[in-house]
Chains A and B, each alone.
Chain A
Amino acid sequence: MTNRILTKLLCASALVAVPLAANAVDLEITHWWTSGGEAAAVRALAEQFEATSDNTWVDGAIAGSGGVARPIIISRILGGDPMAATQLNHGQQAVELIEAGLMLDLTDIAEAGDWANIVNPPSLLEACTVEGRVYCVPLNIHSPQWMWTSLSAFDAAGVAPAQNWDDLKAAAPALREAGKQPLVSGAQGWQYANQFNTFVSGLGGEDLYYAVYRDGDEAALMGTEMKAIWDEIVITRDLMAGTAIQDWNLATAEVINGNAAAQVMGDWAQGEFAVAGKTAGSDYDCIIGMGRAQLIATAGDAFYFPVNKDEEVTAAQKELAQVLISPEAQVTFNLKKGSLPVRGDIDMSTAGTCMQKGLAVLADGGTIDSSDMLLSPDAVGQIQDMLVDFYASDMSAEDAQAEFAKIVMSDK
């Protein structure tokens, strides 16, 4: 089948310059953490990697998230001259590459490092496992199930800060009166999808979430429970009306300076509040699962290592993998990045209050698989397009529900 041919071709023609020094290898690492906070986190990783082994981290940063990086990754791999390691999101993005045998098998170091037990939640490692072999190193957890509220906005409206979705709905008229935007979001597909995801897991609970995203069960998709959630989504459309923002961090800025009351955005928004010098609890609040089901999805990033003919490079790749999962790297990287670690056995006490909340939920197992892990990138993209149409029009809850169901079911 073509995949087998591809692999033979690749191995045959992969030209790799044999490094001069015995084991000092240049590892070219592709990732898309280019802005302030993220770059600092990556630097911590690089320093630790170069400290523990005398290989060098050749930085291949490309801004523009997965959309820009992906053609580069695939072209370099298809072109037979791959990078040493590359960031990808947890989930099915690399499944094809793994099946085509283009990704390095890490099962040996996974078993040696006993990853099965230290990785928490285990579903993260499962996402890296295909036919029992481990092909990636989970690095962090970002979850979309957070709502960030501006305490000053609520004070201005003379209403107690909302602790959950119902409070926010109730406070909306007063907020409008005070000239505050009840709910704010950037007008991009992935932001709408994150928010919708949070509503399904938060208001619907774990069973409905899996029935919808994992099983694609028609009864659940078209059922009354989902209909109720779609009705809430229609309400969000009204609460969000009046903003004309594209980038997510500009929406967060609205919450930071108190023009908007709330935004549903992943935990990476925490970095924006930190940079703006705001403190959780006094300036803003972070609420999981719309204040209802304390569930956080384990989206986030993992590192994959394209197959390489040169043993030294492969050895260096494995050293890097072990560094990425090491306790020190997990602590320093995740603190700087504002994401949750994939290891349960490390001390994250210095983390901020919101991160502590996340850690607590993580500790008592309140995690669910992210939609990236349950749906193919194609379906994820179609849902985003559909939601863009939804928020740009007056599409009814019923039509939206039907459209969403069709997309999910066609992916199963």
Chain B
Amino acid sequence: MTALPDPDRGAVRAKAAPARRPSRLLHNPMSKVAAMPMIATALVIFVGCSLWTVVHSFTDSKLLPRLNFVGFEQYERLWSSSRWITSVENIAIYGVTALVLSLVLGFLFAALLDQRIRAEGIFRTIILYPYALSFIVTGLVWQWVLNPDFGIQNVVRDLGFASFSFDPLNNPDTVMIALLMAGLWQGTGLVTVIMLAGLRGVDEDIWKATRVDGIPAWKTYLFVVVPILRPVFVTATVLIATGIVKLYDLVVALTNGGPGSATQMPALYVYDAMFAKQNLAQGFAASTIMLLAVLVLLIPWSIHEFGGKKRG
């Protein structure tokens, strides 16, 4: 007597598997719908607009975008313009210095704050508050503080050092210092907080181990903690780098590219070409070069992020 399988007994178990595995596209559709804005932004805005820009950089668009092509003319003019060459040099100098100083100062301040001092909260607030201000504000205030007639130079002279001269804003050789002072004043706060967070993530036992091994604190920070914080440094670098490449507002507010063209920056060149010189194509050519530079920088980053280690 063959026992007929009781039909409802198996009901609770999962329904029979479909004949064929569903195509990967239909696999949990909701996540794709939810990611639609990201996909749209990534494709339409960032890829679309970049392509639009690159394409128009080969045209002779003046005030309005138009598509009559002139080949590499815009690029030839770009690289023959001394202002562009100067701005590339300037962004290189400012970029590297600002990036290195931001990371070093950020780490240093974070290490200081990490010494279990009493007023940590207050000091942290003091270092981070400039981040909440706009570049217009930063530029205006630092213009004042660095102004020779009523700024630092004037105050120090009142204190008796008559020969003291500190006028970076008007001296092409030292204006980069003024830019760095203002830029670092604004940006180091965020880097410090990120580094401090990273420091607090370091396993307490490692600190004990170094004390047992008799390794002084500064060596521990340098040779042990810094390597551990490599991912934090990478993220901080991305955040700082995006600010540096697009450096525009601060320079306009503080020196507006002057004195002479000592603080000319690529973003300034792009804006000036597009709107003051009403030569869109020239602006697009300049920004295409900036995009290429970013691509070159970004490839190592994305390899680090998604290459090697799969998500554990």
Do chains A and B make direct contact within the complex (CB under 8 angstroms)?
A: yes
Size class of the A contact interface (CB-based, 8 Å)? 20 to 34
In the complex, the chain A residue whose C-beta lies closest to that of B279 is A378
Instruction: Chain B residues near A274: list those with CB within 8 A.
Output: none
CA distance A67 to B277 in the complex (A): 9
A71 B274 Cβ-Cβ under 8 A? yes
Give A85-113 as 1s and 0s: 1 = Cβ < 8 Å from B's Cβ atoms: 00000000100110010000000000000
Question: Which of A170-178, A303-311, A341-349, A381-389 touches B?
Answer: A381-389
Check B262–A392 contact: CB distance below 8 A: yes
Distance from A94 Cβ to chain B, minimum over Cβ atoms (Å): 8
**From B148, which residue of chain A is reached at the shortest CB distance?**
A244
Partner of A385, one of B82, B256, B275, B279: B82
> Is there a chain B Cβ closer than 8 Å to A396's Cβ?
no
Q: Please give the distance in Å from A372's CB to the nearest CB on chain B.
A: 11
Q: Which of B258-276 contact A (CB under 8 A)?
A: 258-262, 271-276
**Size category of the binding interface on chain B:** 20 to 34
Main SS at interface, chain A: helix
Cβ B82 vs Cβ A74 within 8 A: no
Within the complex, what minimum Cβ distance (angstroms) separates A248 from chain B?
A: 12
Given contacts A385-B83, A392-B172, A67 and B276 within 8 Å (CB-CB): yes
Cα distance, A67 to B279, chains bound together (Å)? 13
Decide if A376 is an interface residue (CB 8 Å cutoff): yes
Known contacts: A244-B170, A378-B282. The answer to whether A389 contacts B260 by CB under 8 A is: yes
Report yes or no: A392 in contact with B261, Cβ–Cβ below 8 A: yes
Q: Are B277 and A377 in contact, with the CB atoms below 8 A?
A: yes
The answer on a CB contact under 8 Å between B64 and A187 is no
Q: Residues 229-256 of chain A: 1 if any B CB is under 8 Å from the residue's CB, otherwise 0?
A: 0000000000000001110000000000
Q: A70-B276, A385-B83 are in contact. Are A246 and B63 (CB under 8 A)?
A: no
On whether the beta carbons of A187 and B278 are closer than 8 Å, the reply is no
Of the candidates B63, B260, B282, which one forms a contact with A74 in the assembled complex, judged by CB atoms under 8 Å apart? B63
Distance in angstroms from A188 CB to nearest chain B CB is 7
Does A159 count as interface, using CB distance less than 8 angstroms? no
Chain A contact residues, CB within 8 Å of chain B: 1-3, 6, 66-67, 70-71, 74, 78, 93, 96-97, 100, 187-188, 244-246, 376-378, 380-382, 385, 388-389, 391-393
Chain B residues close to A by CB (< 8 Å): 62-67, 81-83, 148, 167, 169-172, 255-256, 258-262, 271-279, 282
